A = this chain, B = another copy of it.
Amino acid sequence: MNSFGKHLRLTTFGESHGPAVGGILDGMPSGFRIDREAVQKALDARRPGRSAAMSARNESDKVEFLSGMLEDGTTLGTPIGFIIRNNDCRSADYEALRHVFRPGHADYTYQIKYGVRDHRGGGRASARETASRVVGGAIAAQWLREKFGVTFRTGLTQVGRIKLGTHEDLIKEIERVRMTGDSVGGIVSGEILGLPPGVGEPVGDKFQARLAEAMMSINAAKGFEYGDGFEAAEMTGSESNDGMTVDGGGKVRFLSNHCGGILGGITNGMPVTYRVAFKATPSIALPQMTVSDSGEQREITVTGRHDACVALRAVAVVEAMAALTTADLLMAKR
C-alpha cells in the first residue's frame, strides 16, 4: 500500500506525468496552526532546478491544501488532503524510452508486476512521488518542534569518495561527475534532537526499525545504519557500550552515544543519529546495454534533465521521513 505510519498516516498518490501528485495526512491533532508558507519552502528545497548540480526541470510545485484546516491554517483534527499539480512534464522527452527498460530503474519490474506501466518518466516510481512526503513531513516537523521541541539536522555528508570536504567540495564533485556524462552516489546523515526518552516500541515498532523502513522506502536508498552502524561490527562490547553517570543535578547522563540514541528499540534521550546511503542516479548519458519490451537487445543513452547525485535532493526527503516516523512513534507513546 501507499501509506506510511499508524497514528499519523500519510498516504500518497500520483504519477510523475499525470495531472497531479498529492496525499492525505491523517491523524494530525486539532488546534495546531500550520505555517503553510514553511511547508511550501520545504517543498521548494527539494525542487530540482535550484543549482547547477541539480536537474534543470522547472517544477513550480505549489502545494494546494484541500481540507483539514480552517482558513488560518488551524487544524481541525480531520484528514489533511493536498495536491501538487504537475506542470512542466515534457512527456515527449520520454517517447524514445517508451519501449525500452532503463538500467537501474524500475521500468522492468513495473512491467513484470503490473503488465502495464506509465512510460512517461517513471510514473509512480519517479522521485516526484517524494514531493508529497515532503509536504507531510514538513507538517509533522512543525508539530514536533512546537509541541515537543524536537528538531532535525540533516545533510549531505559524502559524494562518491569525498567525505571530509565542505559542502562546496561535495557539490563540485557532483558537477565534475556530471560533466563526464555519469552520475554518483552519496550519503545523507541525520540527527533527531530533543526527543524524550521512551519513544519507540520494543518488538514490532522499534524506533530504528521504523526509521530504517522509512529511509529504505526512498528512491535509490541502499543502506541504513544508526549509532555506530556497520562500524559496530568491528568493535568490542567495551568499546560500543555507553557508560552512564549521574550529573550534579541528579540526572542520568550517558557518557557517549555509540548506541545512536536508541536502546532496545526505545529512545534514551540522546540524539538519534543515523546515515542513509544512496546509489548514483541510474539515468546517465553514457551508453548502456539493455532490452526492449519486445525482447530485443538495445543500447541506450538516457538524456534529459536528471540530477547527477540523487542524494543531494534526497536530503529533504530523508528529513521528511524522519519527521513522519518520529511523530508517528511519539503519538504511539501513551
Interface residues in chain A, defined as those with a beta carbon under 8 Å from any beta carbon in chain B? 1-4, 6, 9, 11-15, 18-24, 26-27, 29-31, 64-68, 70, 74-81, 83, 101, 103-106, 108-110, 112-118, 123-125, 129, 158, 160-161, 177, 182-187, 197-198, 201-206, 208-217, 219, 221-230, 232-246, 250, 252, 255, 258-260, 262-269, 277-284, 286, 288-291, 295-297, 311, 331, 333-334
Q: Tell me if A268 and B185 are in contact (CB < 8 A).
A: no
Partner of A263, one of B12, B108, B124, B233: B108
Tell me whether A204 and B217 are in contact (CB under 8 A): yes
Given contacts A20-B66, A30-B114, A297-B246, contact A222 B228 (CB under 8 A): yes
Best-surrounded residue of A112, A197, A202 (most CB of chain B within 10 A): A202
With a cutoff of 8 Å between Cβ atoms, the chain B residues found around residue A229 in the complex are 222-223, 277
- What 6 new A-B contacts, CB under 8 Å, besides A11-B26, A104-B237, A239-B280? A76-B114, A77-B113, A160-B234, A212-B213, A223-B224, A223-B233
Sample of 18 A–B contacts (CB below 8 Å): A14-B67, A14-B79, A109-B262, A113-B333, A124-B203, A125-B265, A158-B233, A160-B234, A160-B236, A185-B234, A185-B236, A185-B240, A212-B213, A212-B224, A222-B232, A237-B282, A244-B289, A245-B297
> Is the pair B14, A81 in contact by a Cβ cutoff of 8 Å?
yes
User: Are B202 and A209 interface neighbours, CB within 8 A?
Assistant: no
CA separation between A158 and B181, bound complex, in Å? 37
Expressed in whole angstroms, the minimum distance between the Cβ of A25 and any Cβ of chain B is 9
Minimum CB–CB distance for A303 against chain B, Å: 13
Residue of B nearest to A14 (CB): B67
| Residue of B whose beta carbon sits closest to that of A286 | B238
A281 to chain B, nearest CB (A): 6
Cα–Cα distance between A104 and B254 once the two chains are bound (Å): 10
Is the CB–CB distance between B15 and A182 below 8 Å? no
| C-alpha spacing A334/B77, complex, angstroms | 11
Nearest chain B residue, comparing its CB with the CB of A186: B233
Closest to A253 in B: B291
Q: Check if A232 sits within 8 Å of B223, measured CB to CB.
A: yes
Chain copies in the assembly? 4
Q: Which A-B residue pairs are the 4 nearest by beta carbons? A: A106-B264, A223-B225, A13-B81, A183-B237
- CB–CB A202/B125 < 8 A: yes
Q: Given A242-B103, A242-B104, A289-B243, does the pair A266, B183 have CB atoms closer than 8 Å?
A: no
- Partner pick for A78 among B80, B123, B235, B333, CB 8 A cutoff: B123
Say yes or no: A233-B187 contact (C-beta < 8 A), given A12-B203, A114-B76, A242-B103. yes
Given contacts A226-B223, A266-B110, A289-B244, contact A13 B78 (CB under 8 A): yes
Task: Choose one: B30, B115, B217, B237; the contact of A265 (CB below 8 Å).
Answer: B217
Residue of B nearest to A25 (CB): B13
Q: Which among B106, B234, B267, B297 is the interface contact of A202 at CB below 8 angstroms?
A: B106
Query: A81 touching B20 by the CB < 8 A rule?
Result: yes
Return A14 CB to nearest CB of chain B, in Å: 4
CA distance A4 to B295 in the complex (A): 39
Nearest B-chain residue to A177, judged by Cβ: B236
